[in-house]
Amino acid sequence: MKKRIVVFTGAGVSADSGISTFRDSDGLWANYRIEDVCTPEALKNNRAQVIEFYNMRRKESLTKRPNAGHIAIAQMEQWADVCVITQNVDNLHEQAGSTNIVHLHGELMKLRSEVNPELVYDINEGWEQGLDDRGEDGELLRPHIVFFGEDVPMFDIASRIVEQADILIVVGTSLVVYPAAALVYFVRDKQVPIYLVDPGTPDISKISNPLKHIKERGAIGVPQLVEQLRAELECEE
């Protein structure tokens, strides 16, 4: 039986593809405060600015490609039962070939009704959302993004997936943004190994499972780890 490997990714896995985050001092986020573009209040009070910001993010994202970290994660599906749980709103995991992905914080290339969150639409062509675009319910559309201060509707599903993991891999996340960071504590068996790939110092103080911290960027550390795991699992067969 294939091992169930859950990969939990944050902004660091996409950094080597050139996608900046709100913590970076450059890129799109450098010109905006989070409060002005990524909160329900911002959407209500300055809809035009929020729509413009996410249009620019989409336009920028079309120039980005998966890096070696994304590709290595996708290739694990050849020999393991893999689920990717990502905090990222880009579609680089999809581009790399991963087929089982849970987006905790939404998807940049989708829109949804402001009133009915079940009405979600792909942006099939281009990158631009019109200011007055509406869904089939007649309501204005908004970016399909979980704004700061909003509930994370996919969290319960993600936590149940983590509970079933034989191996948990955490890549490129500070483990300080909740509730997402709490996922590492849902591993049911305390003997399940956790592998952390991040060049920084994520908060691992409360992790009691066997832990190996690979202090590398995702594009370097993930391929190394994947090859190591593949070899180890082959030896177990």
Catalytic choice (70, 103, 105, 144): 105
Q: Which two tokens stand for residue 176?
A: 């300080």
105 noted as active-site residue: yes
CA 213 to chain centre: 20
DSSP letters, 112-181, are EESS-TT-EEE--SSSPPPTT-B-TTSPBEEEEE--TTS--TTHHHHHHHHHT-SEEEEES--S-STTGG
- Asked if residues 163 and 156 have their Cβ atoms less than 8 Å apart, the reply is no
- At residue 88, the 3 state secondary structure works out as coil
CA dihedral defined by 169, 193, 191, 74, rounded to 10 degrees?
50
Active-site residues, by number, are 105
